[in-house]
Amino acid sequence: MKIHFCDLCNESVPQADLDEGRAVLVRGRVICAVCEGAMSKGPGGRSEHGAEARAEEVGQDTTIVDPSAAPPLPPRPQAPRGGGGVGTALASLALLAVIGAAAYLHDWIGKRDQRLEEFFREQRAERSAALSDLEARLGRRMDSTRVRVDELAKSLRELDARVSEAASATGETRALLGAKLDEFADRSETLSGLAADIARQGGVLETLARTTSTLHDDVLRLVGRVRDLETGAAAGAAQGDPVSATLQEQRSPDWLPLLGDLASEDAGTRWQAVQALGATRDPAVAEHIAPLLKDPDLFVRMAAARILGDLESRASVPALIDALEDAEASVREAAVVSLRSITGKSFRFDPAGKEADRAKRIRSWRDWWKKEERKAAGSS
């Protein structure tokens, strides 16, 4: 069996007393049942700690003695009757025994009070150390909290500055949007004016279409008359008429009267002349149509580029290559389509591409055409 010793009276304490609760452990110290009873209750059933506390308040040194904890006094001897000397000796022995027991009890109580005082002193020291540690922890926590509060205050100031900047930027953006809306309104008015102009031009085009239809009928009648004259001239030449043969040789092409319309001040007239010359399918008209690739009217330039491709005239290739530099993408597209139809080459020219890319592809077209011209000159 494991044996412990009381830290107050140094008496042995079996492990069974600790297991059954007759002895206790206080902060790792073993206290036997007697010391535990003396600590918990004083004389008259009052708490010893309460008595010591009151004694400390008035500055008195109070020693609490537990009669049950002190060793029992020996019974007082009875003096025998009739023997005075023997009775006195026995009384003296009894007195010595009482004095010895009192001395032992006083010594035992002094040791117990000293141990209790040491115990309470250690308890106060532990509590003081715990309080100091707690104060240190609270101080560190307060310091860290103060630092965190400062950081949050700084973050709030930065956030306030950002909000102010965002509000200023929003005001600038609102002003910019207002300016853009005003510009859009101006462009809308311009587009409305252009739409009105297009509507007016549509009426002009309808008039031109009617005029073209009338001219077409007139041309057909003139062609019929010219054919009749040709037939008569051919018949006269067959019969040996020299005048008819000369007329047959000097006969001018049917589209010759249309060349005058190419120089008209009216863009619609020039456009109709280009269409009519293209309808003849005569390659000879290509040299008259090619200069119109630089016409001031967009539709005339587009018609000229398209018809030169339909005629498949290689003589108009240089003019079509120059048309690849036109300011309008629609003209550039018509020109590159005609070049592909005539030459079978593309050089990956994109009419809607960037200007630098278009310039690079145009140089490829021109270099290729120079080589073709040198080949043609060498073969001839």
- Rounded to two decimals, the pTM is 0.37
Residue pair 35/24 in contact (Cβ under 8 Å)? The answer is: no
Q: What pLDDT, on the 0 to 100 scale, is given for residue 359?
A: 93
Say if strands 12-14 and 3-5 run parallel, antiparallel, or are unpaired.
antiparallel
Say if strands 12-14 and 24-26 run parallel, antiparallel, or are unpaired.
unpaired
CA distance 374 to 380: 10
Residues 6+ apart with CB under 8 A from 363: none
Q: Which sequence spans correspond to the domains of the chain?
A: 1-62, 104-192, 204-251, 260-380
Average pLDDT along the chain: 77
Token pair listed for 374: 């040198």
CA distance 339 to 365: 10
Angle between helices 267-279 and 84-238 (to 10 degrees): 70
pLDDT tens per residue, the chain (380 residues)?
688 889 888 888 888 888 888 888 888 788 888 887 877 655 444 444 433 433 333 333 333 334 444 444 445 444 444 445 787 888 888 888 888 888 888 888 888 888 888 898 888 898 888 888 888 988 888 888 889 888 888 888 888 888 888 777 777 777 777 777 777 666 666 666 666 657 666 655 665 666 665 565 556 556 556 656 656 655 555 555 554 444 444 456 778 888 888 988 999 999 999 999 989 888 899 999 999 999 999 999 999 999 999 998 889 999 999 999 999 999 999 999 999 999 988 889 999 999 999 999 999 999 999 998 888 877 65
End-to-end CA separation in angstroms for the chain:
134
Domain 260-380 is found in CATH 1.25.10.10: yes
Using the structure block, give the residue that is written with the tokens 């002349």: 273
> For 130-181, how does the pLDDT look when each residue is reduced to its tens digit (9 = 90+)?
888 888 988 888 888 889 888 888 888 888 888 888 777 777 777 777 777 7
